[in-house]
Amino acid sequence: MKNKIKEYRSIRNLTQEKLASLVNVRRETIIYLEQGKYMPSLELAHRVAQALKTKIDKLFIFKN
């Protein structure tokens, strides 16, 4: 799954470490999310979207 986490994180001037802290995960989780190597739970996707002040469907690109 592709996402725009890095793009939105840059807009908000957040480091990976700061975003991880805001959503209560390790920095490595944010790295894996940005690289598309980890599919988040709906709860985590929601927390990330809230921290980045956007909606889940703007942040994550779901493809069949």
- Please, what are the domains in the chain? 2-59 (1.10.260.40)
Residue 50, CA distances (Å) to 57, 64 in order: 12, 25
pLDDT at 1: 79
Residues 6+ apart with CB under 8 A from 18: none
With 0.75 as the threshold, say if the pTM is over it.
yes
- Cβ atoms within 10 Å, residue 62: 9
Question: 14 or 61: whose pLDDT is higher?
Answer: 14
Interior/surface letters 8-25, b for 16+ CB within 10 angstroms, e for the rest: bbeeeebebeebbebbeb
pLDDT for 27-54, tens place per residue? 999 999 999 999 999 999 999 999 999 9
Higher confidence at residue 61 or residue 16? 16
Round the average pLDDT of the chain to a whole number and report it.
95
Answer yes or no: are the C-beta atoms of 59 and 48 closer than 8 Å. yes
pLDDT confidence of residue 64: 64
